[in-house]
Amino acid sequence: MTSRDEIADLSNLWMPFTANRQFKAAPRLLESAKGMYYQATGGRQVLDGAAGLWCVNAGHARDEIVAAIQQSVATLDYAPPFQMAHPRAFEAASKVAAIMPTGLDRIFFTNSGSEAVDTALKIALAYHRARGQGERTRLIGRERGYHGVGFGGISVGGIVSNRKAFSGALLPHVDHLPHTHDLEKNAFSRGQPAYGEHLADELERIVALHDAATIAAVIVEPVAGSTGVLIPPRGYLQRLREICTKHGILLIFDEVITGFGRLGRATASEFFGVKPDLLTMAKAINNAAVPMGAVAVERRVHDTIVDSGAPGAIEFFHGYTYSGHPLAVSAACAALDLYKREGLFERAEALSPFFENAAHALRDAPYVKDVRNCGLIAGIELEARDGAPGARAYEAFVKCFELGLLIRYTGDTLAFSPPLIISEAQITQVFDTVRQVLKTIA
């Protein structure tokens, strides 16, 4: 097995979303993974408190998924998805559709969450055009939103560092709702915070400013993950839904993180009881074993586009060489079967109270200014170090890794999203390790 010493040169790989120089001076390398654990170089076991990157919901290297991919590559390595298809792609679409909110049963495959987002935005524009409202071109995102890294996604996204270098080329006609994070009112909330439903009414202000007839869609993460775990205030998503419906605006839920059991249900839509018109997903759709994403589309939206063109004409000029790639969809079929067979969404729901208590027990740990949680997601926000935002959380992340625990951090928030197979003892280990680390950092 390759070890750090055997890698001749780290310089060729330009690493994504990484402080390349800092990392290469002291790399953290993972060599293999099974179940709840990674194995780092030197044979060190690392408990996965992040499901990789919010994505390995069934735990690592599950036999059924590995076998499905192996069989798939040996049988049909690749099939073109334009004007051709293969049976597994239809099977995977049916399996995904079966657990989506009622009516969102038309599934478009992509290779990532970013592509799912850009695809959803394009579907929204195409839908309005097909129904004779082509002037609806405005897209509404939210401050602090993360919707991947395509130009569509960063335009509706609201993470400043992801936008500023590219600000000259963002999409026009985009506006943003305010974010919902308010520690003065909501610090240490368990589950949905009580304060903030009214922030959805900002959409009415945006509608009044631009006129509803110019707005195509609103996109939000039901629970924002990558920006530091922001849980929607009670009533907020319902209110957004009402306002969108009132003005004929499509509502897109970006469920790249929340889909497939993260909140104890198949989707956050199901968990919160709010139905969007489009739903983007990726990551755990196939337990992250092969790059894959998808958009679930309300049948009415799909039919409006697909029935609008002349018979024999391509209805939607969009797609990827690897849409519905045989390996990806085979992994998805196996993963979705596995989630069901092992009752992993229900398991996540059952574990949530224990996880919540374990996270909130860190309330009195050094530097902790907030703990927030929903399902099997938790965020612990730390006081920023003077003049060095993010530095304390980074140090905590590195020290956790050295002590055999993988977590995420973003800004000064530590983020937790373990595989849904985690045990109570392992949950305790996760938060005990973090407490220990917080006691040792400055």
Ligand X SMILES: Cc1ncc(COP(=O)(O)O)c(C=O)c1O
If one counts every other C-beta atom within 10 angstroms of the C-beta of residue 369, the result is 15
Exactly one of 159, 219, 223, 282 binds ligand X (CB under 6 A); that residue is 282
Alpha-carbon distance 10 to 28, whole Å?
A: 12
Q: Tokens 């990392």 — which residue?
A: 23
Alpha-carbon distance 99 to 174, whole Å?
A: 31
CB of residue 230 to ligand X, shortest distance in Å: 11
Exactly one of 72, 226, 287, 433 binds ligand X (CB under 6 A); that residue is 226
Contact 286, 308 (CB under 8 A): no
CB of residue 146 to ligand X, shortest distance in Å: 5
Exactly one of 175, 254, 298, 412 binds ligand X (CB under 6 A); that residue is 254
Indicate the residue among 226 and 429 with the shorter CB distance to ligand X.
226
Q: Contact between 256 and ligand X (CB under 6 A)?
A: yes
Q: Contact between 141 and ligand X (CB under 6 A)?
A: no
Q: Dig out the tokens for 188 from the structure.
A: 């240490």
For the chain, how are helix, strand and coil distributed in percent, rounded to 5? 45, 15, 40
Exactly one of 72, 114, 155, 417 binds ligand X (CB under 6 A); that residue is 114
Q: Contact between 112 and ligand X (CB under 6 A)?
A: yes
CB of residue 285 to ligand X, shortest distance in Å: 10
Q: Contact between 148 and ligand X (CB under 6 A)?
A: yes
Indicate the residue among 261 and 368 with the shorter CB distance to ligand X.
261
Quick one: 317 exposed, middle or buried, by C-beta within 10 A (0-12, 13-18, 19+)? exposed
If one counts every other C-beta atom within 10 angstroms of the C-beta of residue 289, the result is 24
Residue 121 host element (H or E): helix 113-130
Site string for ligand X, 204-223 (x = CB under 6 A): -----------------x--
Residue type, 398: V
Q: Contact between 146 and ligand X (CB under 6 A)?
A: yes
Residue 247 host element (H or E): helix 236-247
CB of residue 227 to ligand X, shortest distance in Å: 9
Indicate the residue among 259 and 360 with the shorter CB distance to ligand X.
259
Indicate the residue among 287 and 429 with the shorter CB distance to ligand X.
287
Residue type, 160: V
Indicate the residue among 113 and 264 with the shorter CB distance to ligand X.
113
Indicate the residue among 373 and 433 with the shorter CB distance to ligand X.
373
Closest listed residue to residue 293, CA positions, set 267, 323, 269, 265: 323
Q: Which residue is closest to ligand X by CB?
A: 113
Alpha-carbon distance 281 to 295, whole Å?
A: 6
372: β partners: 379
Q: Write the CA distances from 20 to 23, 150, 151, 288, integer angstroms.
A: 5, 21, 23, 24
How many residues bind to ligand X according to rule CB under 6 A?
15
Q: Contact between 197 and ligand X (CB under 6 A)?
A: no
CB of residue 112 to ligand X, shortest distance in Å: 4
Indicate the residue among 261 and 293 with the shorter CB distance to ligand X.
293
Site string for ligand X, 67-106 (x = CB under 6 A): ----------------------------------------
Q: Are strands 174-177 and 106-110 parallel, antiparallel or unpaired?
A: unpaired
Contact 426, 48 (CB under 8 A): no
- Residues in 344-383 at the binding interface with ligand X, rule: CB under 6 A: none
Query: Which residue ranges make up the site for ligand X (CB under 6 A)?
Result: 112-114, 117, 146-148, 221, 225-226, 254, 256-257, 282, 293
